[in-house]
Structure 1
Amino acid sequence: MTIDEFIDDATRRMDKSVESAQHEFNTLRTGRASAALLDRIQIDYYGTKTPLNQLASINAPEPRLLTVQPFDPGSLLSIERTIQESDLG
């Protein structure tokens, strides 16, 4: 392995670590609602696991409130059930 290959590999792995840490920081509970708290929620939408942010608009209009507005009103019950069953606390 040449020095350039070693540096490229190290850079790629460090970038991946930074990206992972940023994702974890986005989901920390800080006392303020953040749409990122719902990023890992997967909804069973017509038999396919789909990320919530692809099925609904997620907003934080107040510091302790998140609003979820589904694009398809028929998916509301599935979204509600999945959020309630999640381990968000």
Structure 2
Amino acid sequence: MDRNIQESKEYRLAKEWEMAVNSYSFDPRKFAAAIPGMHPTNQQSLYRLIRECLKVMAVDSRRYDDRNRASHEEAKCIMEYLNEHGKYIPLK
């Protein structure tokens, strides 16, 4: 991975997202409800992003504790399925 990731737009967006969801008022269902209003290409890009996030969350060598163990275990199950049955998701 790029050593200068902290200078990337992706890193800045990830940190902005981290601040947004670190609030009891953030409702993931409302966020998800906005997806159908997105351009289909952007929906595809969002899915690719989610899939990459799942790959990272499924790695056993990362630090886990009881707060995020369930999401780690579920991400592992999802990645097992995708590795066997997943489709190629084109960039655009």
TM-score of the aligned structures, taking structure 2 as reference length: 0.30
TM-score of the aligned structures, taking structure 1 as reference length: 0.31
Structure with higher helix content: 2
